[in-house]
A = this chain, B = another copy of it.
Amino acid sequence: MIIDCAIYENGVRRDGKVELEHAYDVRHEPGRFVWIGLYEPTEQEFDTLRREFDLHPLAVEDARHGHQRPKIEEYGDVLFVVLHMIETGETELRVGEVDVFVGRNFILSVRTGVEKGFRDVRARAEREPELLRRGPGYVLYALMDAVVDRYFPILQTIEVDLERIEEEIFAATSPRANIEALYVLKQRLMAFRHAVGPLLESLGNITGARVPGVCGGMQEYFRDIADHLQRLNQTIESIRDTASTAISVNLSMITLQESENMKRLAAYAALIAVPTLIVGIYGMNFDYMPELRWHYGYALVWGLMAAIDGYIFYRLRKARWL
């Protein structure tokens, strides 16, 4: 599905929505470029684009199949960029993909699997014609910047989740739920690692010594994206590290809890076992057991048991077993 297709001349959008056929013609005129946004295109649309813009079959193949790693690759003059988009779904994260083809006079973005598009990016870009004049390279920057900036709030919810779990770990109320939550959190984090890591690596290709033509004079902009990715990366690594520690701390807390329960259990056992022995003694049937004949024998036994249990209780309380 074609979302939008427009021709830009010196950074200004030509009026009205352009038909694809005209877009193809126009792109050969100097000082102009076409920006086409697609959402889950059909096989047919893919074919047309490939033919008209002379895209490399391997790149088109990648875009068609999806599930690529983020990457920035040169196919002759054309840059092929794969980005992961991450959205919060109902229960877990939804990972989509944008595949961008950038040529001298055109930029095509192919979005799949996520709802939010790039209308706002286009609108903002059109409000800044002096930047848009730089051509498709700037549009690529704007798209990447948008995609990367959208990672931050989602990653932040993961951070907030982790802090909540931490508190619960030390409260030690629901160790089982904590383990599961940490496990799920680590899985969700994986989506970010797969989105951020490879992209950061690939960015070296367009910020390093030899820069592809379409990104010429834009290094500082792409370096800025690299910087954002590095911040994300650092946050991801921190969360990962903390989550691992949290898992092992949780295990310590479980063991500790067990240890304390055992102490309490032992304490109560002592409080019952000793009187049980005493009453056993006076349940014996010896002919000659003077205490049994005493008038206050029974009461004395009660007193004895109370005294012993009192003492045991006092000792255990002091040792913090109770």
Interface residues of chain A, those whose CB is within 8 Å of chain B, are 56, 58, 62, 67-69, 71, 73, 75, 166, 170, 175-176, 179-180, 183, 186-187, 190, 194, 198, 220-221, 223-224, 227, 230-231, 234, 238, 241-242, 244-259, 261-263, 265-266, 268-270, 272-277, 279-289, 291-298, 301
Contact call A289/B283, Cβ cutoff below 8 A: no
A194 → B minimal CB distance (Å):
6
Q: Considering the complex of A and B, which 4 residue pairs feature the smallest CB-CB distances, nearest first?
A: A279-B280, A282-B284, A258-B259, A286-B298
A87 → B minimal CB distance (Å):
20
Pick from B75, B230, B247: contact of A249, CB below 8 A.
B247
Contact call A73/B288, Cβ cutoff below 8 A: no
Contact call A252/B247, Cβ cutoff below 8 A: yes
Of A62, A198, A249, which is in contact with the most chain B CB atoms at under 10 Å from its CB?
A249
Cα–Cα, bound, A175→B288 (Å) = 51
Given A258-B259, A272-B273, A279-B284; 17 other pairs, CB 8 A cutoff: A170-B183, A175-B252, A176-B256, A179-B252, A190-B242, A194-B238, A247-B248, A251-B255, A255-B255, A262-B265, A272-B276, A276-B277, A280-B283, A282-B286, A284-B301, A286-B291, A288-B298
Contact call B292/A285, Cβ cutoff below 8 A: yes
Pick from B175, B266, B285: contact of A285, CB below 8 A.
B285
Chain A contact residues, majority secondary structure? helix
Contact call A284/B298, Cβ cutoff below 8 A: yes
Cα–Cα, bound, A67→B152 (Å) = 12
Contact call B292/A287, Cβ cutoff below 8 A: yes
Which residues of B lie under 8 Å from residue A276 when comparing CB positions?
A: 272-273, 276-277, 280
Known contacts A242-B187, A265-B266, A295-B288; decide if A279 and B274 are in contact (CB<8 Å). Answer: no
Contact call A56/B249, Cβ cutoff below 8 A: no
Cα–Cα, bound, A257→B256 (Å) = 10
Contact call A259/B254, Cβ cutoff below 8 A: yes
Question: Of all chain B residues, which has the CB nearest A74?
Answer: B220
